[in-house]
């Protein structure tokens, strides 16, 4: 039986799940993609999408991560954002409950994938809606779950929080405006004790709570946030993946002593997802 476990957003990433963008296209399902579609940008060509996704996979493999692949399905173009359908916890995978009709069918492929690898679900979301982009396992025993009433609602967040609290975890539920799609548009961990965050938008009480837990934040502007500039993937071991287009943040991360792997991902960020959204960590050490 496969024992996939994740007890920290910043532990050394050893296995990850991605999905090729064979059928990906921009859909008007969030404020970011709607803004893109309202402009004059042309729909991305399949080979350009494949090239950018290959850069992401190459960065993961360069960092020594084993990359597993989910089979894409033609009628589910947003499967490429593997973060949302399943979140792996310290006790194993949790099947989420996606909110958008265009994405609800993704559950089937994830059930099949985990079954094929002998990976049993620890829990299955059944109250309200719950999406992985709103779930942050800050470190072992400490979690953060955002709820906007959009993708994740309070009932879905509370159900997962209850399961984690029964395990002795401290969990904070953080409300935010659904304009921002998922909490990982506004906040992501970069390394132990270090996060990136849109301080202009997030509640000062939340920032204070992070400080109380020894987590400080690199500030990211609203403009950069809406280009998915805050959406990064901590690899552990002093490395992080951040989109090449996030130049200011990447410089700040390097100033912190982190090695930044920076694939070009503009065609995905224009649709509402960056490195964090495009990856589902299956296993982390520590």
Domain regions of the chain by residue span: 12-285
Q: What is the pLDDT of residues 227-271, one digit of tens each?
A: 999 999 999 999 999 999 999 999 999 999 999 999 999 999 988
As to burial, measured by CB atoms within 10 angstroms (0-12 exposed, 13-18 middle, 19+ buried), residue 166 is: exposed
Q: How many CB atoms lie within 10 A of CB 174?
A: 20
State the pLDDT at residue 230. 96
Q: What is the pLDDT of residues 40-58, one digit of tens each?
A: 677 888 999 999 999 999 9
State the pLDDT at residue 40. 65
Q: What is the pLDDT of residues 54-86, one digit of tens each?
A: 999 999 999 999 999 999 999 999 999 999 999
Q: Which three-class secondary structure string do you get for the chain? A: CCCCCCCCCCCEEEEEEEECCCCCCCCCCCHHHHHHHHCCCCCCCHHHHHHHHHHHHHHHHHCCCEEEEECCCCCCHHHHCCCCCEEEECCEEEECECCCCCCCCHHHHHHHHHHHCCCCCCEECCCCCECHHHEEEEECCEEEEEECCCCCCHHHHHHHHHHHHHCCCEEEEEECCHHHCCHHHCEEEEECCEEEECCCCCCHHHHHHHHHCCCEEEECCHHHHCCCCCCCEEEECCEEECCCCCHHHHHHHHHCCCEEECCCCHHHHCCCCCCCCCCEEEEEEC
Whether pLDDT at 2 is above 80:
yes
Whether pLDDT at 102 is above 80:
yes
d(CA 24, CA 18): 13
Whether pLDDT at 222 is above 80:
yes
Q: What is the pLDDT of residues 103-138, one digit of tens each?
A: 999 999 999 999 999 999 999 999 999 999 999 999
State the pLDDT at residue 28. 75
Whether pLDDT at 33 is above 90:
no
State the pLDDT at residue 42. 74
Whether pLDDT at 26 is above 90:
no
Q: What is the pTM of this model?
A: 0.94
Q: What is the pLDDT of residues 163-192, one digit of tens each?
A: 999 999 999 999 999 999 999 999 999 999
pLDDT, greater one: 150 or 15: 15
d(CA 234, CA 212): 21
Instruction: Confirm if 245 and 227 have CB atoms less than 8 A apart.
Output: yes
CATH of domain 12-285: 3.75.10.10
State the pLDDT at residue 43. 80
Whether pLDDT at 30 is above 80:
no
């Amino acid at each position: 039986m496969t024992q996939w476990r994740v007890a920290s957003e910043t532990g050394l990433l050893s296995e990850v799940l991605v999905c090729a963008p064979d059928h990906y296209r921009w859909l008007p399902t969030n404020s970011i993609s709607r803004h893109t579609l309202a402009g004059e940008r042309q729909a991305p060509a399949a080979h350009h999408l494949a090239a950018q996704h290959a850069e992401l996979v190459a960065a993961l493999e360069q960092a020594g991560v084993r990359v597993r692949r989910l089979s894409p399905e033609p009628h589910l173009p947003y499967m490429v954002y593997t973060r949302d359908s399943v979140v792996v916890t310290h006790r194993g995978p949790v099947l989420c409950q996606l909110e958008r009709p265009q994405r609800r069918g993704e559950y089937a492929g994830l059930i099949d994938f985990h079954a094929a690898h002998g990976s049993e679900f620890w829990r299955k979301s059944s109250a309200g809606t719950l999406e992985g982009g709103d779930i942050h396992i800050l470190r072992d025993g400490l979690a953060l779950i955002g709820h906007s009433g959009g993708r994740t609602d309070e009932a879905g967040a509370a159900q997962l929080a209850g399961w984690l609290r029964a395990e002795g975890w401290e969990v904070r539920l953080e409300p935010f405006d659904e304009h921002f799609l998922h909490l990982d548009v506004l906040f992501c961990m970069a390394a132990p004790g270090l996060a990136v965050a849109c301080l202009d938008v997030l509640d000062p009480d939340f920032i204070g709570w992070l400080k109380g837990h020894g987590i400080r934040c690199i500030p990211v502007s609203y403009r950069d946030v809406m280009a998915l500039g805050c959406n990064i993937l901590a690899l552990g071991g002093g490395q992080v993946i951040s989109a090449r287009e996030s130049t200011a943040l990447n410089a700040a991360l390097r100033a912190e002593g982190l090695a930044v792997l920076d694939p070009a991902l503009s065609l995905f960020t224009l649709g509402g997802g960056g490195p964090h959204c495009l990856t589902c960590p299956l296993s982390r050490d520590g």
